[in-house]
Amino acid sequence: MTAHPSPFALGLIAPDSAPIHLPEPFLRWFAQHGWAPRPHQLELLSKAETGASVLLIAPTGAGKTLAGFLPALVDLSRRRRRKPGERPRGVHTLYISPLKALATDIARNLERPVEEIGLAVTMETRTGDTSQVRRQRQKLKPPDILLTTPEQLALLIAGKDAADFFSDLRYVVFDELHSLVTSKRGHLLALGLARLRKLRPELQTIGLSATVSEPAELCRWLVAQTPGAAPEADLITVEGGAKPDISILESEERVPWQGHTARYALPEIYEAIKAHKTTLLFVNTRSQAELLFQELWRINDDTLPIALHHGSLDVGQRRKVEAAMARNELRAVVATSTLDLGIDWGDVDLVIHVGAPKGASRLAQRIGRANHRMDEPSKAILVPANRFEVMECRAALDANYLGHQDTPPLRDGALDVLAQHVLGMAVAAPFRTEDLYEEVTSAAPYASLARETFERIVEFVATGGYALKVYERYAKIRLTADGTWRLTHPRFAQQYRMNAGTIIEAPMLEIRMIRRRTASAIARGGRALGKIEEAFLETLSPGDTFLFAGEVLRFEGIHETSCLVTKAASEEPKVPYYGGSKFPLTTYLAKEVRAMLADPARWSALPDQVRDWLSLQKLKSVIPGPNDLLVETFPNGRMFHMVLYPFEGRLAHQTLGMLLTRRLERARAMPLGFVATDYSISIWGRRDIGEMIAGGSLSLDALFDEDMLGDDLESWMADSWLLKRSFRQCAVISGLIEKRHPGQEKTGRQVTVSSDLVYDVLRAHEPDHILMQATWADAATGLLDVSRVSDLLARVKHHIVHIDLDQISPLAVPVMLEIGRESVVGEARDADLRDASREAMIALAMGEPGG
Amino acid sequence: MTLQPHAYALSHAGEVCLCALLPQRSRAPTLAIRPSSRPNGNETRIKQRDMRAMNALARRRSQGECAALEIALAGERVACDPSGVLYLPAEDCLVVSDLHLEKGAAFARRGMFLPPYDTAATLSLLALCLDRYSPARVVCLGDSFHDRKGAALMPASERDTLAGLMRGRDWVWIAGNHDPEPPQGIGGETLLEMTIGALAFRHEPSAGLRRGEVSGHLHPVARLAGRGSRRACFATDGARMILPSFGVTTGGLNVLDRAFHGLFDMPRALACMIGHAGIYPVRFGSLARG
């Protein structure tokens, strides 16, 4: 490694062997800087030159980005000049990243080598933030390299001029492919790639990825799939660099039983920031980021420049933080996942992870941010927020050393995404069913899609696909005499463009800071701070305070689509709630935590207080074996509790809790409620479950029998709010319900039809509608973690260890502490209504209302 | 904090099902002087029930089986039925608001293919109400059709169902903002406003306090402070009343929203909230936004 700091994270090595395949200007450029290309960069180039598509798996700091662009840059350097009068060239290379910020960052970093090598190459970004004028110009005069996002690609291929625009396309580079492919965005992107291949069959793809557990999946994703074969792209794997130097914070303070704030460790975190040049602090949710940032500033006696970065902040604010970071002006940045992809930063020399990372691969990714050079060890400190997290951090840490991967398996392409794509393709040009089917099934996630399902989706796009055919006359696309499906009206093209994409956000309002609440101040608006969920604002009354963008704000009211706030004097804000950014514990890590718990020899790696806690558990109850499911029963107050410890993550636990409670009801155990954490479940009720088990009236084997995933699951799920939430997403992505409509306001309020009510009507009248099928598939994987519950039930068969106790066990303390904080989900009780109405009812009985 | 694990309380879910699983029986509407709600003594029975939350349509059906809440409105006795209709016993008149028939079709005309089953579902709920009360007269308080084309383009089967419901009764369509003209080819009488005794019926509430006005349009819903979900409600201060929307795919607007400002004498204002097992009057002071 040279001492040169590289703006491009080239990860170069000293020139000892003469590089091959590289044109003279490139060689000269490398030499000028005293660098040489890395072997994998050259290998990728030579494979690409043979016409192959390639997947490059390399750790952070290995010079992945340059490797990905090298084939394109070399090809562009050999291109002859365009003669005057010749038609403008289309895009040569498309670069697709999961984040707008990453596209911008890569563009900035590419400029320098392009300029220094002296290449006549134009580069531009195109994201949701790109102005309309610039987008138009890009269509007329495409850049050689276009850096963009999956949503923009969907819009580009749906354009009438797509064939021209991409007529010279040679390479598509997918950055951070591992993170793109696991979501519906990845499905949409795979379909977009299939269309690009149809436009340009010679197209080559280059995938850049961090280490994943199943590289073959990504290799298939990159190339066209054909019936009966599963071709793969070439694979280049670069082994990991220096082992990261990770430690778990050994706090002098007491590690709390539960909670996720890690407030106890703040002074120690602050000291660590002081002791390093630049620190990145990762947390799992935006509200945690806000809180940590606030708390750090409270004790920031040295007024260190500490900044905040998360996805809800205003773009301008984020750019400022990113720029200051690149200039090495900051000492610390508190960030969420918006930063954990490969954005290149200044000299970060420490990563602090607050809270458990929930997955070993995620931890590796985040830690990779420190010392963005492969040959130097990254330095990281994990700060567990509670005692179970201490074990989880330890397990994640061991995994990172061992190089274990726990990236989630890829799932089949979602049908709602397919519906959106089908409309997009009709917007682009008329299509034949068989042609589009062939194209779609060449995309890896849809390789096994049945023709019949595809046709149902086309029907769905055309008229809603209902058994009752009453919408024929309103069809969006119609089969014409020449056998092609055609758009019936241009306004549906407009509608498509307004609704494209798979990111469904909760309705958000812009937060604007005003000085005083006067009419003129309200009319002028004020400084934009970012966006916040409407649902959260609805819980506020004017005068309430909350934390956002690192400031305590006073809610003044809502004006049109803005939330108006003033600076608050109050120190104790209500924290904003952001849904949907919680990660489930990965299966792998859960297994590791169980193994650690089961093996007292490994406890020595844990801090004293955690070790004492586990020892106490051993004394008072039982330490379960690695494959055991421990079930404890004990009385507590007037209730009887059953606590189990599956360690399968909150989602799976919620599902399991709901199913077990139903069974306990049938067994007349009279359960009253349950609470689920990432680690355990507690169910409570009026009857002594321990006694029922001892007396033989309740069998644990029967209680945990796998058949609960059949009818029980189905009947519970069908009407649950979880399924309705899935349905809403499917309805919007598939185009059944619009995100927004031309001419309408942009707030979520304008979606005047409640998807919940639509769901109820559809379920009552056509329960096997294609969109219901899509909803079930989503809910089973995403929201309910059904497969994990299923694996769990199979695993614990004949391995259930029950112990009946006189009182709460040490291990049960964290979940028991959560009980008082439960929130009632779903329908409210009539009992509440009855209580609230008592007084008014008496008044009514006596005479007039309010009397 | 935001990271609370979710917990479920079961008793309410049991209650949800109580009504659905009770044997269906048809009975004459009960007009209780004191509002009756299901007694708590059913608890063990509830506990043995399946605790699935219910489909909204099934819930609506079962709610219709519960007792109505009778109150005095501008001196007239009226019954707020948990099915969402208002019954005037002295006039044998049933009032229903915001049916929004053919809403699915209206959206389909704009390229959003909502399920084409909403009209049938709404009419079947209305049929249950008509069966139970057998009113001589029905007043639909406007927005009976979701758009102007709705009535004319309504499929034959729904058209027949509606005709069956209208047969043998006086039927009045009050004009709404969605359906300002008489519904084409449907029959009945279309009026802008009408008066029965001390009560005046119109679609949109007029501004300010109005004694004896019965209207719809705003789709009132209410939520208890600190707890629970939104429930459709009859909003009243004893002088005027705003009916909940009846159509199965109609949303709601919180009674604390600006649109309701100035319409009620606040100290006397009540939201008669439609619960799973009855209808519950709650003072506006005990309600929350959202």
CB contact under 8 A, B47 and A670: yes
Statement: residue A127 has pLDDT above 50: yes
Give A819 to chain B, closest Cα distance, Å. 8
The mean pLDDT of A512-516, rounded to a whole number, is 82
CA pseudo-torsion sign A597, A598, A601, A602: negative
The mean pLDDT of A501-522, rounded to a whole number, is 72
Q: Tell me whether residue B40 is in a domain.
A: yes
Q: Which residue has the tokens 């995938």?
A: A207
Q: Which of A653, A662, A849 lies nearest to residue B51, judging by beta carbons?
A: A662
Q: Which of A288-292, A379-383, B47-51, B206-210 has the lowest mean pLDDT?
A: B47-51
A846 touches chain B (CB under 8 A): no
Statement: residue A750 has pLDDT above 70: no
Q: Tell me whether residue B195 is in a domain.
A: yes
Statement: residue A683 has pLDDT above 50: yes
Which positions 492-531 of A are in contact with B (Cβ < 8 Å)?
Answer: 492, 495
A288 touches chain B (CB under 8 A): yes
pLDDT in tens, B128-140: 999 999 999 999 9
Which positions 454-483 of A are in contact with B (Cβ < 8 Å)?
Answer: 460, 463-466, 468, 470-471, 474, 476
- Confidence tier at B63 by pLDDT (50, 70, 90): confident
Q: Tell me whether residue B184 is in a domain.
A: yes
Gyration radius (Cα) of chain A, Å? 29
Q: Which of A196-200, B2-6, B148-152 has the lowest mean pLDDT?
A: B2-6
Q: Which of A68-82, A807-821, B172-186, B261-275 has the lowest mean pLDDT?
A: A807-821
Q: Which of A15-19, A534-538, A646-650 has the lowest mean pLDDT?
A: A15-19
Chain A residue numbers touching B54 (CB-CB < 8 A): 719
Q: Which of A412-416, A439-443, A579-583 has the lowest mean pLDDT?
A: A579-583
- Confidence tier at B12 by pLDDT (50, 70, 90): very low
Q: Tell me whether residue B200 is in a domain.
A: yes
Mutate to test the interface with B, among A312, A533, A575, A757 (most CBs of B within 10 A): A757
- Confidence tier at B232 by pLDDT (50, 70, 90): very high
Statement: residue B13 has pLDDT above 80: no
Which positions 333-392 of A are in contact with B (Cβ < 8 Å)?
Answer: none
Provide the pLDDT for residue A690.
92
Q: Which of A654-668, A687-701, B67-81 has the lowest mean pLDDT?
A: A654-668
Statement: residue A526 has pLDDT above 60: yes
CA pseudo-torsion sign A788, A793, A799, A801: positive
Q: Which of A672, A762, A818 lies nearest to residue B5, judging by beta carbons?
A: A818
* Alpha carbon distance A719, A843 (integer Å): 37
Provide the pLDDT for residue A523.
66
Tokens representing B190 are 């279309």
A277 phi/psi in degrees, rounded to 5 = -70, -60
Do A153 and A176 touch, CB atoms closer than 8 A?
A: no
A429 touches chain B (CB under 8 A): no
Give B139 to chain A, closest Cα distance, Å. 24
A1 touches chain B (CB under 8 A): no
Give A757 to chain B, closest Cα distance, Å. 5
Report the percent of chain A where pLDDT is more than 90.
34
Classify A586 as helix, strand or coil. coil
Chain B residue numbers touching A718 (CB-CB < 8 A): 52, 55
- Confidence tier at A60 by pLDDT (50, 70, 90): low
CB contact under 8 A, A287 and B2: yes
Q: Within A719-769, where are the H helices?
A: 721-734, 755-765
A432 touches chain B (CB under 8 A): no
CB atoms under 10 Å from CB of A635, counted, come to 18
Mean residue pLDDT across chain B = 81
CB atoms under 10 Å from CB of A199, counted, come to 17
Statement: residue A590 has pLDDT above 90: no
Total CB pairs under 8 A between chain A and B: 271
* Alpha carbon distance B196, B192 (integer Å): 14
Q: Which of B33, B118, B270 lies nearest to residue A850, judging by beta carbons?
A: B270
Which positions 726-755 of A are in contact with B (Cβ < 8 Å)?
Answer: 735-738, 741, 752-754
Give B174 to chain A, closest Cα distance, Å. 23
**In chain B, which residue's Cα lies nearest the Cα of A542?**
B289
Mutate to test the interface with B, among A476, A534, A827, A846 (most CBs of B within 10 A): A827
Provide the pLDDT for residue B6.
29
Considering only CA atoms, which of A201, A179, A224 is closest in space to residue A60? A179
Give B194 to chain A, closest Cα distance, Å. 24
HEC profile of A19-76: CCCCCHHHHHHHHHCCCECCHHHHHHHHHHHCCCCEEEECCCCCCHHHHHHHHHHHHH
Statement: residue A647 has pLDDT above 90: no
Statement: residue B5 has pLDDT above 50: no
pLDDT in tens, A165-184: 999 999 999 998 988 898 89
Chain A residue numbers touching B258 (CB-CB < 8 A): none
Tokens representing A569 are 């004097």
HEC profile of A631-691: EEEEEECCEEEEEECCCCCHHHHHHHHHHHHHHHHHCCCCEEEEEECCCCEEEEECCCHHH
Provide the pLDDT for residue B74.
94
Does residue B150 or residue A722 have the better pLDDT? Answer: B150
Does residue A19 or residue B16 have the better pLDDT? Answer: A19
Mutate to test the interface with B, among A489, A670, A830, A832 (most CBs of B within 10 A): A830
Do B279 and B35 touch, CB atoms closer than 8 A?
A: yes
Q: Tell me whether residue B1 is in a domain.
A: no
CB contact under 8 A, A840 and B114: no
Does residue A253 or residue A126 have the better pLDDT? Answer: A126
Statement: residue B111 has pLDDT above 60: yes
- Confidence tier at A614 by pLDDT (50, 70, 90): very high
A661 touches chain B (CB under 8 A): yes
Give A290 to chain B, closest Cα distance, Å. 12
- Confidence tier at B17 by pLDDT (50, 70, 90): very low
Give B168 to chain A, closest Cα distance, Å. 29
- Confidence tier at A823 by pLDDT (50, 70, 90): very low
Q: Which of A539, A720, A828 lies nearest to residue B290, judging by beta carbons?
A: A539
Q: Which of A754, A818, A850 lies nearest to residue B238, judging by beta carbons?
A: A850
Statement: residue A271 has pLDDT above 50: yes
- Confidence tier at A400 by pLDDT (50, 70, 90): low
* Alpha carbon distance A346, A101 (integer Å): 15
Mutate to test the interface with B, among A509, A668, A761 (most CBs of B within 10 A): A761
**In chain A, which residue's Cα lies nearest the Cα of B281?**
A837
Q: Which of A260, A763, A849 lies nearest to residue B236, judging by beta carbons?
A: A849
Q: Which of B2, B34, B50 lies nearest to residue A285, judging by beta carbons?
A: B2
A120 touches chain B (CB under 8 A): no
**In chain A, which residue's Cα lies nearest the Cα of B113?**
A464
CB contact under 8 A, B4 and A822: yes
Give A252 to chain B, closest Cα distance, Å. 24
**Domains observed in chain A:** 24-237 (3.40.50.300), 245-402 (3.40.50.300), 416-500 (1.10.10), 508-567 (no CATH), 621-704+797-851 (no CATH), 708-794 (no CATH)
The mean pLDDT of A474-503, rounded to a whole number, is 92
What is the value of ipTM here, to two decimals? Answer: 0.79
Q: Tell me whether residue B198 is in a domain.
A: yes
**In chain A, which residue's Cα lies nearest the Cα of B251?**
A754
Statement: residue B120 has pLDDT above 90: yes
Does residue A197 or residue A405 have the better pLDDT? Answer: A197
Q: Which of A470, A761, A841 lies nearest to residue B249, judging by beta carbons?
A: A761
Q: Tell me whether residue B27 is in a domain.
A: yes
Give A23 to chain B, closest Cα distance, Å. 54
Does residue A658 or residue A736 have the better pLDDT? Answer: A736
Q: Tell me whether residue B3 is in a domain.
A: no
The torsion angle over the Cα atoms of residues A295, A301, A305 and A307, rounded to 10 degrees, is 10
Do A70 and A308 touch, CB atoms closer than 8 A?
A: no
**In chain B, which residue's Cα lies nearest the Cα of A536?**
B290
- Confidence tier at A788 by pLDDT (50, 70, 90): confident
Provide the pLDDT for residue A19.
44
Q: Which of A203-217, A286-300, A440-454 has the lowest mean pLDDT?
A: A286-300
Domain that holds residue B269: 10-288
Statement: residue A608 has pLDDT above 90: no
pLDDT in tens, A98-114: 877 778 878 888 888 89
The mean pLDDT of A381-394, rounded to a whole number, is 87
CB contact under 8 A, A471 and B3: no
Q: Which of A245-254, A435-444, B229-238 has the lowest mean pLDDT?
A: A245-254
Provide the pLDDT for residue A784.
64
Report the percent of chain B where pLDDT is more than 70.
80
The mean pLDDT of B154-160, rounded to a whole number, is 95
How many structural domains compose chain B? 1
Q: Which of B2, B16, B48 lies nearest to residue A827, judging by beta carbons?
A: B16
A670 touches chain B (CB under 8 A): yes
Provide the pLDDT for residue A742.
39
Q: Which of A304-308, A369-373, A765-769, B44-48 has the lowest mean pLDDT?
A: B44-48
Considering only CA atoms, which of A168, A71, A169, A78 is closest in space to residue A119? A78
Chain B residue numbers touching A674 (CB-CB < 8 A): 7-8
Provide the pLDDT for residue B273.
95
